[in-house]
A and B are shown apart, each in its own frame.
Chain A
Amino acid sequence: MVETFYEVMRRQGITRRSFLKYCSLTAASLGLGPAFVPKIAHAMETKPRTPVLWLHGLECTCCSESFIRSGHPLAKDAVLSMISLDYDDTIMTAAGHQAEAILDEVMTKYKGNYILAVEGNPPLNQDGMSCIIGGKPFLEQLKHVAKDCKAIISWGSCASWGCVQAAKPNPTQATPIHKVIFDKPIIKVPGCPPIAEVMTGVITYMLTFDRLPELDRQGRPKMFYGQRIHDKCYRRPHFDAGQFAEAWDDEGSRKGYCLYKMGCKGPTTYNACSTVRWNGGVSFPIQSGHGCIGCSEDGFWDKGGFYDRVTGIQQFGVEANADKVGGAALGVVGAAVAAHAAVSAIKQTQQSRNKPGQDE
């Protein structure tokens, strides 16, 4: 007999009151109205738990670390019980053949009905030898498990974009999931790591409504990645007023001015940090006085300095940004124009001397 979410929660000693609180908080974090709270509660009371297989490729486990700190009331008990996390080689008790056997068991029993969560990504160079799971390249395990899954969640920037191991020159050719699996719906939940509540929110949505959340063109759930950090930043009034911190220890910095000039990537980063925040809503990087580094954006390691507003351009092969390149070009063209004007003037004078009496 497969247990429902609710039964599992109750068995783990969670009161009904806590359960309902969890449902309302989840509804709020998903941007749903109060009318959805009973629907979420009903779904969790009646639906069997959906098994989740959580694979780890090239990664640093920061996604897992974030996930287990979900700040909702039921974080450490319920979230882990809510999804039937049947395989997660980093935190599971089973090991070796016993652990690997679970994969095949779930794949057979819940064929086409389990969710595959991937943290990290497969390296393709050197026959995938840079990431070996259970004696085989990670790519093999990934393709094997992805074959019968219902949908894939790409946890974090590694699985979504490639992240640091895919930064130039990417020696192992670490490749994001959507570039190796093409026949399954993929939900990208980028961030390094993603916000805990965003992770649990995405999973809750999928289980509650039995469908994928609405995604943008880059495959991210719109509910969490529809706006930039900048759009909801509490320092935005300082930006509009033109008040910026110019050094980490200046007056502006102490007064909590906008970190735009310090290279904050809030204006170019789509994530929910400025609304959901971190560690149970305590703070987020900008609130702590450091600019956003844009960790949920594609290739953020390769976009120049974290502390530059006008960021570097890799293509030119030297340390350069748009202003340096443009300024140099303007200097060269300006000098050329000046020289050309000088020669033209000499020529014009010569001509009028050679043809006296003729109007030019």
Chain B
Amino acid sequence: MLSAQDMQEAAAHGRAVKAVYVYEAPVRLWHWVNALAITVLAITGWFIASPLPSLPGEASDHFLMGYIRFAHFSAGYILLIGFLGRVYWAFVGNPHARQMFVLPLTNATWWREVLFELRWYLFLEPDPKKYVGHNPLAQLAMFTLFLTTAVFMMVTGFALYGEGAQAGSWSHTLFTSWVIPLFGQSQDVHTWHHIGLWVIVLFALIHIYAALREDIMSRQSLVSTMLSGWRMFKDDKP
């Protein structure tokens, strides 16, 4: 859907177009704030589940676990607020801002492109295609690996946060009150939230590798696009 439109766009402009403005400033800002928040969340989350060795002295001298949890909760808030802003931008931003949220599942061409990209990654296609936004496989990965996991982590995370904030707090009312009964008990929510950490780590690994690899091997810019917003094409072929 979008890629076809992109191709038309690129074709229509012919050789003249070597760069397209893809990621608007709020999307880029969100991407990097999000990356930072997730890094903080993953590291502090790990140390919440497996705390550091004990500190000597009186309990009143230290607040280590408290600070780690504070960082985790703050980063969680940033993730949530950033995400809400990103959803807002999906409505008011350019078409590329919507790509992550909506999969064109009924579009046969899109599925063929997913297969093409899979073949490209499996070294079965000699040359990659050009895409202005995400390539279809990347779009699929963004939706299934990143978007759903991030929403899952925010819902379970704020459900756990609401346990400490207790009944009457917004997080307890909005999340804890139904998430805990849904999973059965608090320990299950902890366990699944912890599994979510690993999914996010896997996503980050694949995401960074694919972005770097595509930056080198594909026919368009990747990493610099998320900094400047401009998608640069390396050749003039369609």
Q: Spell out A's residues near B (CB within 8 Å).
A: 216-218, 222, 226-228, 231, 237-244, 246, 252, 257, 260-261, 265, 267-270, 294, 297-300, 303, 309-311, 313, 321-323, 325-327, 329-330, 333-334, 337, 340-341, 343-344, 347-348, 359-360
Choose one: B50, B59, B195, B213; the contact of A341 (CB below 8 Å): B213
Q: Which residues of B contact A242 (CB under 8 A)?
A: 51-52, 54-55, 62-66, 68
26 of the cross-chain contacts (CB-CB < 8 Å) are A216-B167, A217-B178, A218-B180, A222-B167, A228-B186, A231-B164, A240-B63, A240-B66, A241-B60, A241-B66, A244-B51, A246-B54, A303-B185, A303-B187, A309-B49, A310-B194, A321-B191, A322-B194, A322-B198, A323-B49, A323-B50, A325-B198, A326-B194, A326-B199, A333-B202, A347-B217
Alpha-carbon separation in the docked complex, A299 to B166 (Å): 23
Alpha-carbon separation in the docked complex, A217 to B172 (Å): 12
Interface residues of B in 12-52 (CB under 8 A from A): 49-52
Beyond A326-B201, A360-B234, 20 additional pairs, beta carbon < 8 A: A217-B181, A218-B180, A239-B65, A241-B59, A241-B60, A241-B66, A242-B62, A243-B59, A298-B185, A300-B185, A310-B194, A311-B190, A313-B191, A323-B49, A323-B194, A325-B198, A337-B206, A340-B121, A344-B217, A348-B216
Choose one: B50, B54, B164; the contact of A309 (CB below 8 Å): B50
Interface residues of B in 143-166 (CB under 8 A from A): 163-164, 166
8 closest Cβ pairs, A-B complex: A326-B198, A242-B64, A268-B186, A241-B62, A322-B194, A237-B59, A242-B65, A240-B66
Q: Which residues of A contact B191 (CB under 8 A)?
A: 310-311, 313, 321-322
Number of interface residues of B (CB under 8 A): 47
Q: Which residues of A contact B135 (CB under 8 A)?
A: none
Alpha-carbon separation in the docked complex, A118 to B190 (Å): 31
If A323-B194, A325-B195, A326-B195 touch, whether A297 touches B185 (CB-CB below 8 Å) is yes
- B3 is an interface residue with CB less than 8 A from chain A: no
If A297-B186, A323-B194 touch, whether A330 touches B66 (CB-CB below 8 Å) is no
Max chain A C-beta neighbours (<10 A), residue from B55, B181, B187, B198: B187
Closest to B58 in A: A241
Interface residues of B in 190-214 (CB under 8 A from A): 190-191, 194-195, 197-199, 201-202, 205-206, 209, 213
